[in-house]
Amino acid sequence: MPPGPVPIPPGRPGGRRPDDAGLLTHEANAEAAARAPGIVLAERPGAAGSPPGRDDTHQVGPDERRKIRWRRIRRTAYVLAGLAFVGPLLAFVIGWMIFAVPTADDAAITQVATFTYADGSPLATVRPDNINRTKVTLDQVPEPVRRAVLSAEDRSFYSNPGFDIVGIGRAMWSQLTGGVGGGSTITQQYVKVTTGADEFSLWRKYKEIVLAVKVSKEQSKDQILENYLNTIYLGRGAYGLQAASQAYFDKDVKDLTVSEGAMLAGLIQSPSRWDPAKNPEKSLERWNFVLDGMVTQGWLSPADRAAEKFPRWKEPQPVGGGIPGDSRGHIYNQVRAELEERGITETEINTEGLTITTTIEPDKQQDAVNAVQKVMKGEPGNLRAALVSLNPKTGAILAYYGGDNGVGLDYAQVLKQPGSSFKPFVLAAALQKPNPIGLGTVFDGSSPQTFGGVKVSNSEGYSCPSCTVKTAMTQSINTVFYQITMQVGPAAVAEAAHKAGIPQNLLPDPTGGISLGDKEVHPVDLASAFGTFAADGMYREPHMVTKVTAADGRVLFDLSSVPGRSVFSQQVARNVTESMTDVASSSRIGLSDGRPVAAKTGTVQSRIPGQNNDAWTIGYTPSMSTAVWVGTDDNSPIKNASGRPVYGRMLPGSIWQAYMNTALKGTPKEQFSKFVPIGQPVYEERTRTDSTESTDPNGSSAGSSASNQPDSYSGDTTRDGRSRDQGDPGDSAFPTAGNFDLRPNGFFDPRPNDPGQRGPATPGSG
């Protein structure tokens, strides 16, 4: 055919059929199309603004419209199908990228922390935020109990990828139609608990699915199940199977029966409502559901199922535990502080299910509480007391009393001036000098004396013109110890105290007043430092914690033995001990069985003449060192029930004596180690108020062996020997000879008035 336009068949309007456009598209060969491209484009249906499916003169027929409509439907269906497949896949990929699997910290499981006495008996059970949880490993949960949980919550747990698509679809429909959740696998439930996302929403389900798959990739099924069993809430304040086993059956999870496990598993979905104590019918229904499911899964034989009976459960009990409100609260706080110092964090305490074994012995702790309460009964209400007792051979604190209010101020941690109880450190420094000052070295103990412009006095003008160091310690002669301090240097005294156990951050810028106890210390510091002398110069860090064990059996800390550090030679320490062996007996606070003991009293005088602010007794045997303090909150004068000033041997001495007698009762009567004098050996001399030595009518020296006179009463008698506190427990009258220095001696130059402190005071009384 020659080139040219395509001929138009006769008899047709416009010369074309309605479907010519189609013929052009599908039947014309490439050559024809190439020859007449303009005609093809011009006549395509819908071109040049014409409505689709029609040309200039004709409309598309019904068949063609149906074809076009179905073509559009198919295309839409293809797009929707693609979106249905690609959309979730894309959403999953995005979620996988942005949702992080909870870390160990994010998924921290709050658990009970148990604090015990040294013998393992409970001291405190602490539930952070009142949550009761104790973590256990999976092998501690009997297999039938594990299967009971799977029967109740996720029977395909070990085979599903972390989610159940059928269950999710059911849950989505429920939520879209106004229902609430459902359809979660155990893995999803675990994710929900550890992320804290508990709202009912499609977003939460979407996030759960992504994280469930991620968790399943990173953890084994057994790990997921173990974590789940330790996180689920089972009512009665119990989180996890171990706590629930105790709450419902008063037993450990390892001892649960199949029936008991089934009952607990049945509670998981609604523990508060389905507790058998609240709804026994529903609890029984769920128990049956769990056991029947176990049969279906082949985990329990029909015969065994038929033999099971609903278990006996115990009635709900009030949730106990928490920080003790009595004197034990101070122990708890000190243990927490010690754990922090040893690197055990708050998070570990709250999440690891720790068992913290302390050094506190329950019988001795009760002895301490009893001693304080008995002695202080009937005394003025403003008086406060503290007692710390430890074992010098280990550093273990045996008893710790900081007051009856366990959430109030801990008086065993207050900073107070120790008065004359600091004098042993002066002697420790003097014994170590190249030309040591021994217990028999004689000093002028007359009063008053001036040293470097500072006036130092003994009380009421009593003098000891020729006084050995031991007598000066027993009678607490201030002028003697001030002289020694000036000879050896205040810094040497501070160094000796630091070596013994007084913390390095205390005793700043010492002066001669350190000999009379003008620097503040804690009661626990003195118990520890005196314990160093009791241990023949071996310092051991005072501590309350011996062992910390996590719920999974890991030992986080173990102080089964405390290495000692030799800070003084045995000879130096033993000489210090020897200097104090007469103090308790002369103060009428010796131990009832004649047990060897070294002790020192101390009293801090008030800026108010004739009054005292603080009173101390510290003493030890080879196996126990105990410090007792009595004072007030506001450093006001301390007076007993008779209205008279309190001195070291009085209330503190009585508490110390009562505690030591009880705590040591029935134990071996230990002796101190061998005593080898350093420097001048000890001899006896007399204390007097003038140069004339008096004798009694029988010709015996009235001042023979000052160490035989009661130091404690030296603070509580008048010059003529009449007791100021007659009627106080243990008080008695003294000889009327006027040459006994029976009052504790004071450093009468007040120390500078430090801002924020109690103002001028006169430490140094015995």
- DSSP assignment of 29-42, as one string? -HHHHHH-HHHHHH
Is the separation of the CB atoms in 425 and 718 below 8 Å?
A: no
Tokens, residue 759: 């103002």
Q: Which of 151, 153, 361, 389 is catalytic?
A: 153
In this structure, the strands spanning 238-239 and 132-133 are parallel
Work out whether the CA dihedral 36, 42, 47, 50 comes out positive or negative: negative
Is the separation of the CB atoms in 422 and 602 below 8 Å?
A: yes
Cis upstream peptide for 448 (omega within 30°) = yes
Q: CA 651 to CA 628: how far, in whole Å?
A: 9
Tokens, residue 272: 């508060």
Q: Give catalytic status of residue 515 as yes or no.
A: no
Q: Give catalytic status of residue 153 as yes or no.
A: yes
Q: 148: buried, middle or exposed (CB in 10 Å: 19+, 13-18, 0-12)? A: buried
In this structure, the strands spanning 598-605 and 762-765 are antiparallel
What count of residues does the chain have?
766
Q: CA 665 to CA 80: how far, in whole Å?
A: 89
CA angle 290, 292, 296 (to 5 degrees): 115
Q: CA 274 to CA 270: how far, in whole Å?
A: 6
Strand-pair partners of 396: 543
CA distances 742 to 132, 604, 689, Å, are 59, 17, 11
How many CB atoms are located within 10 Å of the residue 489 CB?
14
Strand-pair partners of 114: 125, 355
Strand-pair partners of 356: 115, 548
Q: How far apart are the first and last CA of the chain?
A: 141
How many CB atoms are located within 10 Å of the residue 325 CB?
12
Is the separation of the CB atoms in 127 and 319 below 8 Å?
A: yes
- For the CA atoms of 391, 397, 399, 404, the dihedral, rounded to the nearest 10 degrees, stands at 150
Q: What is the largest CA-CA distance in the chain?
A: 171
Tokens, residue 487: 């000879």
- CB within 8 Å of 291: residues ≥ 6 apart: 148, 151, 258, 259, 262, 300, 305, 308
Map tokens 């977003």 to a residue: 203
Strand-pair partners of 616: 602, 629
In this structure, the strands spanning 397-401 and 383-390 are antiparallel
Q: CA 609 to CA 599: how far, in whole Å?
A: 27
Q: 705: buried, middle or exposed (CB in 10 Å: 19+, 13-18, 0-12)? A: middle
Is the separation of the CB atoms in 588 and 710 below 8 Å?
A: yes
Q: Which of 151, 184, 420, 714 is catalytic?
A: 420
Q: CA 3 to CA 757: how far, in whole Å?
A: 121
In this structure, the strands spanning 454-456 and 397-401 are unpaired
**3 state SS of 347:** helix
Amino acid identity, residue 115? F
Tokens, residue 239: 């989180």
Q: CA 727 to CA 708: how far, in whole Å?
A: 22
Tokens, residue 200: 């009912």
Q: CA 415 to CA 506: how far, in whole Å?
A: 10
Amino acid identity, residue 474? T
**Active site residues per annotation:** 153, 420
